[in-house]
Structure formats: structure tokens, C-alpha cells
A and B are shown apart, each in its own frame.
Chain A
Amino acid sequence: MEGFMYPNEVELQWSVLIVLYPFLTGLVAGAFILASLERVFRVEAVKPTYRLALLTALAFLIVAPLPLQLHLGHPERSLEMYLTPHRASAMAMFGFVYLWYLMAVLLLEIWLDYRRDIVLMAQSSTGPKRQLYRLLTLGSYNISPGALHVDDRAGWVITLVGIPSAFLLHGYVGFIFGSVKANPWWSTPMMPVVFLFSAMVSGIALVLLMYMVTSLIRRTAIDMNCLDTIAKYLFYTFVIDFSLEMLDLIHRIYEADESFRSLDFMVHTRLFVSQIVLQIFVGTLTPLVLLALTQFVKFSELVRKRIYALAAILTMIGIFAMRWNVVIGGQLFSKSFLGYTSYKVAFVTKEGLLPAIILLILPFVILYALIKILPPWQAGDAATVQADGID
């Protein structure tokens, strides 16, 4: 500890698991919004990633509550949030937003889009898989053109509702931080907006990477029109996100309120690596420059793929760093503005680095299972063209 802190402030309350949580829900919101580009805004180019984006969103949404459960002092009481939610609490209301989004939006949309395949597989598969598919049909085997049309219309409505729901899902996480007047690093009306746009950036980057990786594994050709379009949306969203964060920064520096000196010192010392190096230079400026280049310079397909992959990876690192800087950064300085503490993250403890790493890997494991049960690609796609030079 350095300087003066209120005695109870020295120990951090929210650990790396609470950094992970907005990162995961952000990926969900971002992936979904990319999927909705095709469905609602008829951006045909990104159609090849539609189902993949939805499944990715689901895999991450399933894992999202786990860091919270590990963090709670009494996870066995977590049901209380649904039984006696305190309506003034953003955290309590978020429980219902999460539930709504999972049930009424994501699961329903996936089910409606896959229903035809589910029915076909229920009829053609054998063994335990058959039982699973039969269960998923909910007993209806109607895949007539009329029924499929109903599915399509219903799916459209759900996606339409889903877009503000996705905004709400991650905007709420931003509000959970932004509404804490005790903490000047968190308290700003811009927090939900900044969180949302950084979520969209990370989600789009994730889907871009997933598309490239799955194409590589399946040895299928990448639809460059799709990839270029995703990269283009990534670029636009990033520009907005970067502008918002710059606005927040400039505003803080200019107004220089009572917390500013303390926060400024914190950023330049405790958060130097995570904020200035990782979030700003590595995670924002570099991908922005890379993506901007691809928008204004004509590169070959191979070079574009490499640039996109690099930009997407750096983006994910940057957005993770941003979550770290918000959550951990908000606890490193004293509310007296007279001192600082440090965060020592252990490796093998309930809230340590190892569980965090496991929780980061787990969604991919679940995604693998989901892809096996609900393949995003048509059966015909599998045996095709050699993937070209994506190393």
C-alpha cells in the first residue's frame, strides 16, 4: 500500500473473475449483434457466419455466470436474486435481463433457425443422439414451407427484439459500474455506452477469428466478401468505441475534478502496462491502424487474412485489458484520493488466475459440443476445397 487508504479498502473486493464476467457477456452481445446484421439489416455478405455467431454467443452466455458463482461468498444463496430481487439494484435486475436474453432471445432464435435441421436429424440419427434431437423438436415435426416461413418471420421478430436486448445485456453491466457514485473511475453516464461498443468490438473480432479458425480446421475456403465485411464493421465499431473512450479521457483531463490527480497517477504507475501499453497501444491503436490500412490500401487476400487475424487477436487482448483497467483499476486507488494499493492475483485459488484461464477456455469446449449437435454448416460443405495459405 502507498499513501493513505481507508483501512478496509486495502484489500480488493472484486477479482480477476469479475474482470472476466463483462468480457464474456460483452462477447455474447457483440457476436449476437453481428449475427443480427444479416437477419435484420440484410447484410447478406456475413451470412456464412450467422449460425456460428449465434452458437458462439450461446457458448459464452452459458459460461458467463460461472465466474460470478465462484466469486460469491455464498453461491448457494444466489437464487435469492430471482426470488427476492431488490428492484433498486442494477445487479438484481440484471439477473432477469440475463434470463430474458438467454431464454426468450438466444435459445429461441437458435431453435427457430435450426428447427428444420433438428427435425431432419431427429428422423435420421440413431441412438442417444436421436433422443436428444427428438427432445429438441418439442414434439413438432412440421417443416412444411408454411411452417418454415412462420419460423423465419418469428426469427426476424426475435432478432429485432434481440438487438435492444443485447444492448441491454451488456449496457446493464456498464450501468452496474457507471452508477456507483462512490467511485469516480466508474461513475460516468458514458460507462454503459463505452461497455457496449467495446463489447461489440470484441464480439465481432471473436466471430471473425472463429470463422477463420473453423474454416482452417474444416479445410474450407473462406468467403472473402464475408470476411472483408466483418472486418469493415469491426473497423467502424472500433472507431466509435475509440472516440467514446477518448472523449471520456479528454473530459476527465480537462475538468480535472478532485479525483483526477489520484487517477492520473494511478494510470501512469499501477495501470501503465495494462492501460497505456496493452489497452491503448497494442489493443486499440494498432488494430485500428491495421484495419484502416485494409480499408484504404488494396492488399492481396493472403495479406488481408493475416492482418485481420492479427487485428482481431490484438483487439480481444485490448478489450480484456479494458475490462481489467475498469474493474481492477477502480479498486487500486483510495476513495480518499490519497493512496493506492496493489492487486496480487494468486494462481491456484478460488478466484485466481487458473480458474480464470479455465473459464476462458470452457466456452470453446462448449462451442465445440454445440457445433457437433447443431452444425452451422450444410452437410454438403464438409468435403471441399483446400484452405489456402492461412498460416
Chain B
Amino acid sequence: MSKFEDSGHLARVAAVFLLGVVAFVALRAAVIPKSYGRYGPYRGDALEEITARPLAYAGHDACEGCHSDVLEIKSKGWHAHVNCESCHGPLAKHANDPGSVIPVKPDVAKLCVRCHSENIAKPNGFPQVDAKEHAQGQLCNTCHQPHSPGFDAGGKK
């Protein structure tokens, strides 16, 4: 009997702990995001948030609708598999609203050398030149048609 009384204070401690546990469980129910666990141990809504990001690049299929003439030329030359936006930059805004968003023409002085300046790390068969020597101060598109740059496919200007 007295042993029971003498342990009374322990019961109080246990009560405090229990209260804490109950509060914790209640907090969890209230605060945990509802979509948590929908697909796995993470917030399901995150997928929606991430996919809602706006596009910067339209993708090569988007250009064909209006620019099939250029694509016709390109498909016959060395740049057949170079996508439009690879040189022209991200153009989803233009594809969305072709009339009002006019793309800026790429700066030829910088554009071509990024791929074609010679570097021993580039694969051997890849066309690369020492730009200064090759161009003698002229812009690349003085002689090369950018959409079909090789001379044998009729790309010479």
C-alpha cells in the first residue's frame, strides 16, 4: 500500500509524458501536408509544383509549323541533326506568340567557334578549325550557310 503511495510522483511524470505524446500526435495530424505519402515518403503535391514550371525551350517539333522551308534546307546538310534552339537559344516564348516575340539572331562571331574551334579533346572526325587562321578576320557566314554549312550540299554562299 505505502509502496504505491510512495510511487505517486512517478505517476505524475508518466502523466506529463503521456500528455506530451498526445500533443505530438495531435500536432502531426494537424500539420503534416495532406499529400504526404501519396506516391511515397514525400509530399505528392511536389510533383505538380515541379511540372508546373514554364518551358524555356520549345523543342524542335515546334519550329516545323512555320519554318518548314529552313528545315528543308537543314535536313539535307551537315546540321540536319542540330536542333534549331541549339543555335537560336530557347524560343518557347516565340513559339507561343510568334508575332510579338521576335528572337534575336545569334552572334555569329561567338556562336560557331564554340563548336568548331579546334581542340585536341574533340573527336577526330569532327570539323574543327583554328578560327583566326581559317576565317582571316571574316565572319563564318560570309562563306558558310549556317543551316547547311557544308559546300558539297550546296551550302556555299
Binds B, one of A143-151, A208-216, A253-261, A363-371: A143-151
Interface residue? A139 (CB, 8 A): yes
30 A-B contacts (beta carbon < 8 Å): A83-B27, A83-B32, A84-B32, A84-B36, A84-B41, A103-B17, A103-B20, A104-B17, A108-B13, A137-B9, A138-B12, A138-B16, A139-B12, A140-B8, A140-B12, A142-B5, A142-B6, A142-B8, A142-B9, A144-B6, A146-B2, A146-B3, A146-B6, A147-B7, A147-B8, A147-B9, A149-B6, A150-B6, A151-B9, A154-B10
- Contact residues in A for B9 (Cβ distance below 8 Å): 115, 137-138, 140, 142, 147, 151
Taken together as a complex, chains A and B put the C-alpha atoms of A151 and B31 apart, in Å, by 38
Given contacts A142-B6, A146-B6, A150-B6, contact A86 B12 (CB under 8 A): no
For residue B28, which residue of chain A has the nearest CB? Answer: A83
Indicate if the CB atoms of A111 and B13 lie closer than 8 Å: yes
**Given known A82-B24, A84-B36, A142-B5, contact A150–B10 (CB-CB < 8 A):** yes
Cα A86 to Cα B37 in complex, Å, equals 11
List residues of B whose CB falls within 8 A of some A CB.
2-3, 5-10, 12-13, 16-17, 20, 24, 27-28, 31-33, 36, 41
Say whether A79 faces chain B, with CB atoms less than 8 Å apart.
yes
Interface residues on A, range: 20 to 34
Determine the distance from Cα of A236 to Cα of B109 in the docked complex, in whole angstroms: 72
User: Are B13 and A147 in contact (CB-based, < 8 A)?
Assistant: no
Considering the complex, give the chain B residue whose CB is closest to the CB of A137: B9
How many whole Å from B31's CB to the nearest CB in chain A?
6
User: Which residues does A use to contact B, with CB under 8 Å?
Assistant: 79, 82-84, 86-87, 103-104, 108, 111, 115, 137-140, 142, 144, 146-147, 149-151, 154
Q: How far is the CA of A151 from the CA of B10 in the complex (A)?
A: 8
B residues in contact with A151, CB < 8 Å: 9
Partner among A79, A103, A137 whose Cβ is within 8 Å of the Cβ of B31 = A79
Task: Knowing that A111-B13, A138-B16 touch, tell me 5 more A-B residue pairs with CB under 8 angstroms.
Answer: A82-B24, A83-B27, A142-B6, A147-B6, A154-B10
Give the CA-CA distance A111 to B33 in the complex, in Å: 37
Please give, as numbers and ranges, the residues of chain A lying within 8 Å of B27 by CB-CB distance. 83
The distance in angstroms between the C-alpha atoms of A139 and B12, with both chains bound, is 8
Q: Which residues of A contact B8 (CB under 8 A)?
A: 140, 142, 147
B10 contacts which chain A residues (CB < 8 A)?
150, 154
State in angstroms the CA–CA spacing of A228 and B6 once bound together. Answer: 38
Closest to B5 in A: A142
Chain B residues with Cβ under 8 A from A104's Cβ? Answer: 17
CA distance A138 to B31 in the complex (A): 30
- In angstroms, Cα B12 to Cα A111, docked, is 12
Q: How far is the CA of A146 from the CA of B2 in the complex (A)?
A: 8
Q: Which residue of B lies closest to A149 (CB)?
A: B6
Provide the bound-state CA to CA distance between A204 and B76, in Å. 79
B11: nearest residue on chain A (CB-CB)?
A: A140
Residue of B nearest to A85 (CB): B41
- Measured in the bound complex, the distance between the Cα atoms of B121 and A332 in whole Å is 29
In angstroms, Cα B9 to Cα A119, docked, is 12
Q: How close is A84's CB to chain B, nearest CB, in angstroms?
A: 6
**A84 proximity list for chain B (CB < 8 A):** 32-33, 36, 41
Please measure, in the bound complex, the distance between the C-alpha atom of A262 and the C-alpha atom of B107, giving whole angstroms: 43
How many angstroms from the CA of A82 to the CA of B3 in the assembled complex? 37
Q: Would B16 and A83 count as touching, CB distance under 8 A? A: no
Q: CA A146 – CA B1 in complex, angstroms?
A: 11
Please, which residue of chain B has its CB at the minimum distance from the CB of A146? B6
- Taken together as a complex, chains A and B put the C-alpha atoms of A128 and B136 apart, in Å, by 90
